[in-house]
Amino acid sequence: MSFRAPFERYRGTVLPEWIDYNGHMNLAYYTVLFDGATDALFDELGLGLDYRQNRRLGTFVAETHNLYERELLVGAEVRIATQILGVDEKRLHIGHEMFALDGGARTATQELMFLHVDLALRRVSPFPPDMYARVAEAAAAHAHLPRPSWIGRHIAMPQR
């Protein structure tokens, strides 16, 4: 499998109904756009809807962290670059970066930790060997990318 590093197959546009009282995109819709990029990645990896329906296996998000850097206004177009940061038998760690097509500035980031689950049991379970090999191969294609500085951040007030 030849896997792009970073993975960039998703673009989106800020819709009028996503605009909040401040006149920019509401925080919830950053997640909607990032989720579209996750779906594109999972489809490429074979973890998409067919995987869920045919094998009754899937992923759940265990943790996420968004960082909002620049506002987006109605009609803004974005692209999302995704990096696979790590994988083990039961987890997949990814990071998304959202960029405005107009000017190219990064507007937001999202870090996610997914758990692989057996959907019939609703329990965390190991990836099947074939799927683990596929995801590990994609992760290896991303291993040479620099680790983003925003990965592993946490929210805290400055200490005085």
What percentage of the chain reaches a pLDDT higher than 70? 99
Residue 147 is assigned to a structural domain of this protein: no
Q: What is the pLDDT of residues 135-157, one digit of tens each?
A: 999 999 999 999 999 999 989 89
Q: What is the pLDDT of residues 79-109, one digit of tens each?
A: 999 999 999 999 999 999 999 999 999 999 9
Residue 154 is assigned to a structural domain of this protein: no
Residue 85 sits in which domain range?
Answer: 7-142
Tell me the residue ranges of DSSP E strands in the chain: 7-13, 57-68, 77-87, 91-100, 106-118, 123-124
CB distance 92 to 38 below 8 Å: no
How far apart are alpha carbons 105 and 107 in whole angstroms?
6
pLDDT above 70: residue 1: no
Assign 160 a pLDDT band (cuts: 50, 70, 90): confident
Q: What is the pLDDT of residues 26-49, one digit of tens each?
A: 999 999 999 999 999 999 999 999
Total number of domains in the chain? 1
| CATH code (residue 64) | 3.10.129.10
Residue 11 is assigned to a structural domain of this protein: yes
